[in-house]
Copies of this chain bind each other. A is one copy, B any other.
Amino acid sequence: MSAASSLPVDTAAVGAASARVADYLRDAILNGDIAPGERIRQEEVAARFGASRLPVREALRILEAEGLTEHEANKGARVPRLQMHEVDVVYQMRERLEPLAVTESIPHLSASDIDRLAAVQTRIEANTDVGAFLALDREFHLLTYTGCQIEQLMSIVRRLWNSTQHYRRAYVSISGPGRMWVVNAEHRLLLDAIERRDEVDAERFLSGHIRRTRIELAKHPEVFEGGAT
């Protein structure tokens, strides 16, 4: 249903029901249907799903590992609400880790991988809807890491994207489509470096891209603390 579910996630290795519930909740959180701070009741999810509470419990553990929920004993799960400084540090972590991921990825990217990447970037540029932009931007970046075979690194990168998705959405919806052209220019530079299989340039463009995004985000403190109850 959502664009997020079309991307590779590491939920393949769990029981069928748990995986389905996890997919459902993941989409709901990444789409913003469940807001930060909101509590997730096991019974409610189980009922909506026609399953027992047990797979829901497992699913919540999986999501916890992905940074999408947090868990407190006898109090249940809720979507974490991050402070501005926390999001800033997560962006600093991305700034340091994702260049490594793209360097690990580039040698293993096939020609069709790169074609798909270019196609997504073309779709981003043709698109004007800020909601779709969010999903496409996510898809673009995660696609650049397709060749990275280090599961540890990829699951952590996905986790960093997951935990800040809500704040990215809040940011693009208030900042409007203006900054999208800057992002597209930076994507083109990155795509070009990947097509040349130039790890050094790719690292440099990517870290700069993430750093500039972080600085932009820091100019909008109203994204944090405000909004949802």
A positions within 8 Å CB-CB of B? 12-16, 19, 57-58, 61-62, 64-65, 67, 70-74, 85-86, 89-90, 92-93, 96-97, 100, 104, 150-153, 156, 159-160, 163
Give Cα A165–Cα B12 distance, bound, in whole angstroms: 26
A-B CB proximity, top 3 nearest:
A65-B65, A61-B61, A96-B96
Which B residues are CB-close (under 8 A) to A74? 15
Whether A93 and B61, one on each chain, are in contact in the complex, defined by CB atoms closer than 8 angstroms, is no
Number of copies of this chain that the complex holds: 2
Whether B15 and A86, one on each chain, are in contact in the complex, defined by CB atoms closer than 8 angstroms, is no
Give Cα A62–Cα B100 distance, bound, in whole angstroms: 26
Q: In the complex, which of the residues B14, B93, B163 contacts A97, with contact meaning CB atoms closer than 8 Å?
A: B93
Give Cα A153–Cα B104 distance, bound, in whole angstroms: 22
13 A-B residue pairs with Cβ-Cβ distance under 8 Å, sorted by A, are A13-B70, A13-B73, A19-B73, A57-B58, A61-B65, A64-B65, A89-B100, A89-B104, A89-B152, A90-B152, A96-B97, A96-B100, A152-B163
Whether B73 and A15, one on each chain, are in contact in the complex, defined by CB atoms closer than 8 angstroms, is yes
User: Closest CB of chain B to A148's CB: distance in Å?
Assistant: 9
Whether B93 and A100, one on each chain, are in contact in the complex, defined by CB atoms closer than 8 angstroms, is yes
Q: In the complex, which of the residues B92, B100, B152 contacts A67, with contact meaning CB atoms closer than 8 Å?
A: B152
Other 11 A-B pairs with CB < 8 A, given A13-B73, A85-B150: A12-B73, A14-B71, A19-B73, A65-B65, A86-B152, A90-B153, A93-B152, A97-B97, A152-B163, A156-B156, A156-B159
User: Closest CB of chain B to A98's CB: distance in Å?
Assistant: 10
User: Closest CB of chain B to A167's CB: distance in Å?
Assistant: 13
Give Cα A13–Cα B152 distance, bound, in whole angstroms: 24
